[in-house]
Amino acid sequence: MNDNILEMTHIIKEFSGFRALDDVNFTVERGEIHALCGENGAGKSTLMNVLSGIYPYGTYGGDIIYNKNVCKFNDIKESEKKGIVIIHQELALIPQLSIAENIFLGNENVRLKNVIDWDITQKKAAEVLARIGLDHENVNALVGDLGVGKQQMIEIAKALEKNVELLILDEPTSALNEEESNMLLELLLDLKKQGITSIMISHKLNEVSRVSDNITAIRDGRTIETIHRGHEPIDENRIIKDMVGRELTNLYPARKVEKGDIVFEVKNWNVYDEENPDRKKLNDINFNVRKGEVVGFAGLMGAGRTELAMSIFGRTYGSKISGQIIKDGEEIIIKDVQGAINKKVAYVPEDRKTYGLVLINDIKWNMTLASLHNKFSNKGEVIAKNDEIIAAKEYCDKINIKTESVDKVVGQLSGGNQQKVVLAKWMLSDPDVLILDEPTRGIDVGAKFEIYSIINSLAQQGKAVVMISSEMPELLGMCDRLYVLNEGEIAGEVPKQEMDQEHIMKIIMNHIAGKGTRKK
Amino acid sequence: MNGVSAEKNIGQVTADKQMKEHVQQLKQYGMIIALIVIYGIFAFLSDFKNTAPMNVNNLIMQNSYVIILSIGMLLCCLTGNVDLSVGSVVAFTGALAAIMILDYHIAIPIAVIVTLLIGVLIGIWQGFFISFLGISPFIVSLANMLVFRGLTLVVLNGQTKGPMPATFTKIGAGYLPQVFVHAGGVRLELLALLAGVAISIAVIMMELNSRKKKAKVGFENPPIIVTVIKLFIIICIINFFTLKFSLYMGLPFVLAIMLGLILIYAFITTSTVPGRQIYAVGGNKKAAALSGIKTDRVMFWIYTNMGLLAALAGIVLTARNASATPKAGDMFEMDAIAACYIGGTAVAGGVGTVTGAVVGAFIMGVLNNGMSLLGWSVDVQRVIKGLVLLAAVAVDVYLKQKKKS
């Protein structure tokens, strides 16, 4: 009865034992806009990567039936040939090339084999720009000079030139402002009239309910349900419940701490973008942490949590930073990382391999790197190497780093043990305030539990802990109090009693909606 | 529970650790063994001409400037960069020293100090562009290679300036105080011999001291036999050299400079906070910055230091040649870079030692020297040196890939 352009049935995808997709069924009707909703890590992007052939046939279970045929894509080129085009969150445009060059990147108009026909390229580029409503743009302008919104539309133009039938957009509006988002959504509706089917992955439920015909929610790698606009009204609360409604089991060790006075407080904190100093990244942030308290920061990706942490930690992010940091009742000024270390503030960064560790060096070397000046040398000159070994051994035992020796190169450790080395590195700097950014990302459940136990013992020692995480259950399980950050603003503060995922998601959605109306 | 597992761990630890240390030591001494083998081959091919006292002396004197440069270059290479300007800076500073002494009759010690200061200024000049403007060191030093080669031609009017006075040439071609004795028809220089004995004793004492210290804190010491063999080889090498010097003219003055630099820089790189920071910047710049290291400042000092050492090499070169020429120091940067990479420095940065760079420089020097003694043409020499560099890095990369898989 339905004309389905795509049916994905019983899709299973595993990553070294971890089931990212567990029997997912996903059906898209021809000519609709279908929204795919779910939390961070629910499996939305994985599903789209399976569809587009990034994970080739054979690495997943189940079938992809596209235009009534079973498809076995080996790479993204094959799916593109059939008219499936995916536009990722990070745009695949080359800023230094012109609009026309970008539109035909990898799909050039050639004569004789390899000679580019510039006349046809420019003519066709102008045509496709007209189709997406950008007819006044010069096809020879550099893509880097366009705003993000227009860049996103150039990606769509690029897809149109590949004769797209099924367009997949991964968080298309996450980097756009209200006006740009509107333009993009209008374009999607326009393309629908031209007969193009779209799948839109989005967190922004107001946008989803505005443009989409059907909505599928997935959670923990499973399809929860598909809501059909034709049959029933679209209820945002229902979608939220679908996205987050999982049971919390006892994954989190209990903690008994007397919370003390406020030791760390940030007031009226404003930060502008590093690359683009006109764009405000964080707007008037206020928060505080008590002694022995674990305070969480929840928010969607790109909400500005890491930026907030790094701007506080020695101004390692941002420009035109203003505001106050108060520690133990006195205002402190932190100009650089060494200053932060001296003031006993520590930041455990989110990507341990890129920001936390020197992978080619050994455990003791990495552990002492942040405290060489203050602890492992006389006046910052000669290193006390024996002390390093003793301290590293002590911490390996204390937080159970599984290694045969402190001379082991950290690149050879498992993710969980690497994370413990980074934690030890910052525990060695004797901080009063620890900011942990995604402390359990990419590590297994057992190691997670150990990290949680370390966090608990830090709180018990009277440290103030700030925890940033994209895993909502983790925040709910570990934190005494939560701040919800959205688009660079504190959208709400949630005490322990009121913590539940739906509530937090609602705060975010209300904030998004509120911002929209305020702008209008 | 912890106690038991910890005890169990310690048993494993020692076995694994020993194995690993053996492998590491082998790697560390691999280059030295390669150097001895190459030296042996040329000794054999040249009827032991290259072990003659005069030749050993020349080996040190001819390579002193490259060794000085490769020490500075090592620091650049540790951050994953190079300095292409050193050859030109050597020529420029050497020329300025010659002009100051010959044309302006400035006292030699003052001229030397001023030249070194100019080297520092050149380093600051390069460091400014690299650290404060964030221009790639490759580009900055490439530009300055042209600038200072040109300036050398300008200040020298394209001509050779010389001869330098004897008190100055002593820096590059002279000797430390000499006491000659005759024993059985052989003339020996006593102080060189004594220095050999003294250094040998010092090395033994240092090793014993380190063992004692480790034992005191309760750390594992390598088996005594390993230490004995290591000490034996080191002492043989030291006394081989001092004996040869003693049979010729005694200890060269540049040897003292070189040894001093090697000791100082080996200490800085292995045992000080600034040294550790250089490795951190080379190993992972972002992680270093988030650990409180001012990466720009580290880069600045590395290039400033390179300027100082290039000026020192310039002085030594002018002294040894007794003149300054516009072509002086040509391709020295390449020799210094090659020395670092042959000596095991990772091209991406973060890995490398002063000893390695010095051994690398010696390998190049022994090759040069041996091939010259055999009468091979300069063209062939270049080909062989190039192939040796390629082979050294290829072996290193191959071993690393094997280790990964």
Among candidate residues A471, A491, A446, A437, the one with its CA nearest the CA of residue A307: A437
Work out whether the CA dihedral B242, B243, B248, B250 comes out positive or negative: positive
Q: Domains, chain B, ranges and CATH?
A: 34-174+252-404 (1.10.3470)
Residue to mutate among B79, B279, B284, with most A CBs inside 10 A, is B284
Span B247-266, average pLDDT: 93
Domain boundaries A262-355+431-519, corresponding CATH code:
3.40.50.300
DSSP sequence for B175-242 = BS---EEEETTEEEEHHHHHHHHHHHHHHHHHHHHHHHHHHHHTPPPPPHHHHHHHHHHHHHHHHHHH
| CA–CA min distance B285, chain A (Å) | 8
Q: Which chain B residue shows the shortest CA-CA distance from A374?
A: B273
Q: Which chain A residues contact residue B400 at CB under 8 A?
A: none
pLDDT digits (tens, 9 = 90+) for B156-212: 999 999 899 999 999 988 999 888 888 878 888 999 999 999 999 999 999 898 888
Which residue has tokens 């060096």?
A361
Interface test with B, best of A317, A360, A396, A409 (most B CBs within 10 A): A360
Nearest C-alpha in B relative to A390 = B217
Q: Does B291 touch chain A (CB under 8 A)?
A: yes
Closest residue in B to A365 (Cα) is B276
- Quote the pLDDT of residue A219: 84
- Is the pLDDT higher at A250 or at B337? B337
**Residues A355, B12: C-beta atoms closer than 8 Å:** no
Residues in A touching B220 (Cβ below 8 Å): none
Residues in chain B closer than 8 A to A347 (CB atoms): 290
- Closest residue to B16, CB basis, from A337, A358, A405: A405
- The pLDDT of residue B399 is above 60: yes
**Which pLDDT value is given to residue A246?**
53
Q: What is the model's pLDDT at position A236?
A: 78
User: Does the beta carbon of B276 lie under 8 angstroms from any beta carbon of chain A?
Assistant: yes
Q: Under DSSP, is residue A58 helix (H, G, I), strand (E, B) or coil? A: coil
Give the pLDDT of residue A440. Answer: 86
Q: Is the pLDDT confidence value at A249 over 60?
A: no
Among partner residues B213, B283, B294, which is closest to A360 by beta-carbon distance?
Answer: B283
Q: What is the pLDDT of residue B4?
A: 42
Q: Tell me the average pLDDT across B339-364.
A: 91
Share of chain B above pLDDT 70, in %: 92
> With 80 as the cut, is the pLDDT of residue B12 above it?
no
The full 3-state SS of B340-379, as one line of letters, equals: HHHCCCCCCCCCCCHHHHHHHHHHHHHHHHHHHHCCCCHH
Q: How many CB atoms lie within 10 A of CB B142?
A: 15
**A1-83+212-247 and A262-355+431-519 share one fold:** yes
> Looking at residue B8, what is its pLDDT?
43
Cis peptide bond N-terminal to B163, omega within 30: yes
* Yes or no, beta carbons of B292 and A383 under 8 Å apart: no
Across the A:B interface, residue pairs with CB atoms under 8 Å apart total 93
CATH of span A1-83+212-247: 3.40.50.300
Question: Residue A146: how many CB atoms within 10 A of its CB?
Answer: 19
Nearest C-alpha of chain A: how many angstroms from B348? 11
Give the nearest partner residue to A380 out of B271, B273, B283, using CB atoms.
B273
| Partner-chain residue, chosen from B6, B219, B271, that has the shortest CB–CB distance to A389 | B219
The reported pLDDT for the residue numbered B202 is: 93
Please work out, in degrees rounded to the nearest 5, the angle formed at the alpha carbon of residue A398 by the alpha carbons of A404 and A429: 105
Residue A16 pLDDT greater than 80, yes or no: no
Query: Hey, is the C-beta of B362 within 8 angstroms of any chain A C-beta?
Result: no
B268 touches A: beta carbon within 8 Å: no
Beta bridge partners of A345: A433
Q: What does the domain layout of chain A look like in residue ranges? A: 1-83+212-247, 262-355+431-519
Strands (E), A162-305: 166-170, 197-201, 214-219, 222-228, 262-272, 280-290, 294-298
> Hey, is the C-beta of B279 within 8 angstroms of any chain A C-beta?
yes
Contacts of A355 in chain B (CB under 8 A): 286-287, 290
pLDDT tens digits for range A188-199: 999 999 889 999
* Closest to A243 measured CA to CA, from A36, A441, A50, A25: A36
**Residue B6: predicted pLDDT:** 42
Pairwise CB contact (< 8 Å): B273 & A377: yes
pLDDT of residue A92: 85
User: What is the Cα–Cα distance from A414 to A447, expressed in whole angstroms?
Assistant: 10
Residues B31/B359, Cβ–Cβ less than 8 Å: yes
* Percent of chain A at pLDDT exceeding 70: 96
Instruction: Write the pLDDT tens digit of every residue in B22-75.
Output: 555 556 677 888 888 999 999 999 998 888 999 999 999 999 999 999 999 999
Q: What is the pLDDT of residues A446-492, one digit of tens each?
A: 778 889 999 999 999 999 999 998 878 889 889 999 999 998 999 99
Per-residue pLDDT reduced to its tens digit, B295-344: 999 999 999 999 999 999 999 999 999 999 999 999 899 999 999 999 88
Q: What integer pLDDT is reported at residue B29 of this predicted model?
A: 73
- CB contact under 8 Å between A397 and B6, yes or no, is yes
Average pLDDT over residues A167-183: 83
pLDDT for residue B5 is more than 50: no
Using CA atoms of A238, A244, A247, A249 in order, give the dihedral in degrees to the nearest 10. -170
Cα–Cα distance measured from residue A48 to residue A46, given in angstroms and rounded to the nearest whole number? 5
**Phi/psi zone of residue A329: left (φ > 0), alpha (ψ -120 to 50 degrees), beta?**
left
Residue A286 pLDDT exceeds 80: yes
User: Which pLDDT score is estimated for A254?
Assistant: 83
Q: Residue B222, Cβ neighbours under 10 Å: how many?
A: 14
The runs of H, that is alpha helices, within A196-235 are: 205-211
Q: Chain A contact for B214, CB < 8 A?
A: yes
